[in-house]
Structure 1
Amino acid sequence: MKKNQFVIIGMGRFGSSLGKELIELGYEVLGIDMDEEIVNEMSHALTHTVAADSTDEEALRSLGVRNFDCGVVAIGDDIQASILTAILLKDLGVKQVVAKAMSELHGRVLEKIGVDRVIYPERDMGVRVAHQLVSPNLLDYIELSKDYTIAELAVPKCLDGMSLQELNPRAKFGCSIVAINKSNGVIIAPTAADTLQEKDIMVVIGTNHQIDAFEGSVTAKSR
């Protein structure tokens, strides 16, 4: 089965990090940037790299970007270039266009022109780090929507040996434990009989309020 191919436009910190991670995951990545020095630096890390102006329709067409499954606009310092590039990727028929936004207004414009997914890396990372700083058992936090969140919580010593039936977060708080990451592997869709061990990681899904209440209860028990 053919793996998806990605084109990333803008090889700054976000674009280059994204490209390297996709390569690690086994995907093919074309990196495009106007800066030849950056392109040369990234040439060993990605499948292909090209120095080109992404606001030039003919340049993008000649590179065959329409054949890529996903185009990521990771331009970080030129809002006009970001918007024009996203428009061209849509016009050229790239199946999925993802773009990095530097502000809420920039993001709204990207949504208006039909970008499939808008990413706010700085804002989202700030939200995640804030939650990690104030919640000692919280390892990661991803907002799925305005209301729903998925969180990773470390199991404290006070919950060691407790079954999910005893903990019963769904009945008590309304949230669900959808996986338990143990030292010897991950349990997906755990049953009520599965038990927790200290330092396991619970993957919990629910509304922001439900997860806050559950995390608060876990923190209180561990004091």
Structure 2
Amino acid sequence: MAKETRTFAVIGLGAFGGAVAAELARFGNQVIGVDLDEKRVTQMASTLASSVILDTTDEAALREAGVDQYDVALIAIGRDIQASILTTMNLKMLGVETIWVKASNKTHHRILSKLGVDRVILPEQEMGRHIAQMLNNPVVQDYVSLGNGFSVVNIGIPERLQGKDVAALGIGSTYDLRLLGLMRGTEYRPCDNSDQVLEFGDKLIMLGKRPELRRFGDAL
């Protein structure tokens, strides 16, 4: 019988790990939080299905806590690179299906990549790129990188385009982009019809390569 939800183990309940664990739980997933710090574990006890004080460099302790039974593990251990690496190796040996790890620096990143984890995260760098993208072009209110040069961006409609229709934007003709739809407040509206009239404050959901998205944003 297929599982209705995936199960997650979040190891390291600092600011980053704690936020991820809480959000995963809010989405209805079963989440276990693990940390050596009793205070952090206690703080998450009412939010998560389970939270335990555990030395994750001890493979036997991980197995005893049942961490090997979880589908996905996020290792969000802070500055203790040795503990992060040993924990990663333990989870690999325990057969955890998917492992994501927060890296502290580029050297840590390289080591984790050699260990064959599914994804290495550098939160500060990723958030820095995210913020730079929005600062560089104020009409870009949010974006997600899809890899291979493609991104989905959220672009605000300026006041001067109030009352114009979607066709006036030149999407697909002047610009090699795809319009996935728009958000008007909290309402999603498809844009299959190019006669859709724009309102100031609408947010276009655009798919395309970054240089073309930048060119479109600059023109707005």
Q: Give the one of 99, 102, 126 matched to 1:100.
A: 102
Give me the whole-angstrom Cα distance separating, in 1, the residues matched to 2:88 and 2:174. Answer: 45
Q: 1:184 to 1:56 in 2, by over 3 A?
A: closer
Give me the whole-angstrom Cα distance separating, in 2, the residues matched to 1:59 and 1:109. Answer: 24
Give me the whole-angstrom Cα distance separating, in 1, the residues matched to 2:43 and 2:215. Answer: 47
Residue of structure 2 in register with 1:23 after alignment: 25
Q: 1:189 to 1:47 in 2, by over 3 A?
A: farther
Identity of aligned residues (%): 34
Q: CA deviation at 1:63?
A: 1.4
Q: CA deviation at 1:175?
A: 1.9
Residue of structure 1 in register with 2:201 after alignment: 199
Structure 1: runs of 5+ lacking an equivalent: 219-223
Q: CA offsets per residue over residues 163-190 of structure 1, 9 Å max, x none?
A: 3222122222212221211125113564
Q: CA deviation at 1:103?
A: 2.0
Residue of structure 2 in register with 1:161 after alignment: 163
Residue of structure 2 in register with 1:121 after alignment: 123
Give me the whole-angstrom Cα distance separating, in 2, the residues matched to 1:31 and 1:189. Answer: 42
Q: Which amino acid aligns with 1:171?
A: S
Give me the whole-angstrom Cα distance separating, in 1, the residues matched to 2:30 and 2:152. Answer: 29
Q: Which amino acid aligns with 2:106?
A: E
Q: 1:83 to 1:190 in 2, by over 3 A?
A: farther
Q: CA deviation at 1:148?
A: 1.9
Instruction: Please tell me the root mean square deviation across aligned C-alpha atoms, in Å.
Output: 1.7
Residue of structure 2 in register with 1:181 after alignment: 183
Residue of structure 2 in register with 1:209 after alignment: 211
Whether the aligned pair in 2 keeps the contact of 1:180 and 1:190 (CA below 8 Å) is no
Q: Which amino acid aligns with 1:212?
A: R
